[in-house]
Every structure is written in C-alpha cells, then in structure tokens.
Amino acid sequence: MDSDLGWIPDWVQQGHARFVRTVELNFFELPLDGDGIRSRLALGSSIIRDQDCAVVWRGLEKRGITESAVAYHLLLDAANARHEIPPQEVIPASDRRERGERMAIHASALRSEIEELSGWNEDRLTGRLPEEWTPALGYHIEPNTRGDFSASPATLLFTLRDIENAARAWAQSSPAVYRPNDESAQRVYFARRMTRHFLSLCGSPLRAQTAALIRCLFDDNTDAAAVAKLAPWSPG
C-alpha cells in the first residue's frame, strides 16, 4: 500500500491485500481470462485510492464493523458487480418460474431415485450406495461404518434437497435488471447488488456508501437519493 494512502484503515488495507491475492490466483468460482483479472484488480484499486470512498469504511466502523474479511468481500462483490451482470440476473420472471420449477422437479426425482437405490432411511440416516459410485462421487459422499467400499448417500441427498429448495426459491424471485440492453443497466445492477450486500452485512442499505462506490466506478454524480430510486429496498 502506498504511503500516501495512509488514511485507509488497517483492516481495509488487509482486506485489499487479500483481494489482490485472490484475484491474482484466480480463485473465483468461474475461470477468469486475463482481461477479467486485470479489470477486477483495477476496480478494487480504484475504490481503495478514491478518498470519496472513505465514507464506506467510516460507515462500517460506526456500526462496529472492522474485520478485514468484510473489506475483502466488499471489494470482491463491488469489482464483480461492476465488471459484468451475471446471466441469471437478467432472466425474466416468467422464465425463472418455468426453469426454476423444472430444476426443482429434476432434483426431487433424482433424490427419490437415489433414496430407493440406497435403501435410505431418513430417521436413522442409513443407506448404502453401490461400490461403483464411490470412485466418481467420493468427494460428495461419506464412508459407511462397515469398513467396506460402499458409502453413505447422506451428503448427496441433502445437497439435492437444498438444490430443490433453492430452485423453487429462485423461481419466485425477480430479476435484478429488467432491461439488460439499456445503457444504464450496469449501474442499476451495481446499485441493487451493493444495496443487498449492505443489507445483508449490517441490516441497512447504506445508500450514501453505495452512492460513493458508484461515483468512483461509474464516474458520475450519483447521490443517496438516486440510489434509493435505483434500489428501493429497506430492511424487513
């Protein structure tokens, strides 16, 4: 960290250092190309170097939040949200209902097949998968207590149940961006993503802080009132 950025709290500097390491090592869920890595590094650096963004760190400190992990996740979320809009965030509500329900049905059907195949007993959490499954799914399943090569389907079945529930919840959700081809779509998505980030983090939308991030990364004069119109969510 440059000496002329000494006004940045230590916990934020530590979070930024972790952010840089993560991006450089490409530890994202999806593979990044060189441009994606460079873009995110530049976005994180812009936030750190923009003194206007000091309001973000002060706002969190006022709420007793000073963990480096918080700064790390905030920088990562902001860089990702500014870099691109994930495809699933623009899927219309009608398609969400159809696709989400279809995924839930498939997950439920697969879970039922595995329960029958393994002789799964929900009450006693017992059941055995065929030996042939173990090499392919060893990282998803748990060894049994019999000392043989079959394995318990517990983790696999619980995961499929979680997928079913998540798919049905997603089917009832709304897209973050309704007009993805609009020139303001990226800005709208960013405002909504970061508003939800702050709501999840501290129970407040922190619109002044989101506005500072937008001014930094979009080079405009957005204020808290504008953020409230773009992302009109509140606790509760």
pLDDT given for residue 102 in this prediction: 97
Alpha-carbon torsion (92, 93, 97, 98), positive or negative = negative
Binned at pLDDT 50, 70 and 90, residue 149 comes out as very low
> Alpha carbon 187 to chain centroid distance?
18
Sign, CA torsion 159/161/165/171: positive
Q: The whole model's pTM is what?
A: 0.77
Closest CA to 73 of 7, 11, 162, 151: 11
Count helices and strands in the chain by DSSP H and E runs: 10, 2
Percent of the chain with pLDDT over 90: 59
Q: Where is pLDDT greater, at 230 or 26?
A: 230
* Per-residue pLDDT at 34: 58
Give the C-alpha distances (Å, rounded to integers) separating 128 from 6, 142, 151, 163.
Answer: 59, 10, 5, 21
Distances (CA, A) of 119 to 29, 136, 144, 161, 235: 34, 20, 13, 17, 45
Domains in the chain: boundaries? 3-89+175-230, 92-171
Q: Tens digit of pLDDT for each residue in 73-109? A: 999 999 999 988 988 889 999 999 999 999 999 999 9
Alpha carbons 76 and 79: distance in angstroms, whole number: 5
CB 213 within 8 A of CB 78: yes
The pLDDT of residue 7 is 77
Residue 145: phi and psi, rounded to 5, are: -100, 10
The CA distance from 68 to 151, in Å, is: 40
- C-alpha–C-alpha distance, residues 173 and 92, integer Å: 10
**pLDDT digits 0-9 by tens, 172-228:** 998 888 888 898 999 999 999 999 999 999 999 999 999 999 999 999 999 999 999
CA atoms 154, 155, 161, 162: torsion sign: positive
Per cent of the chain over pLDDT 70 is 85
DSSP string, 118-155: HT-BTTTTB--B-GGGHHHHTTTSEE-SSSSS-EE-HH
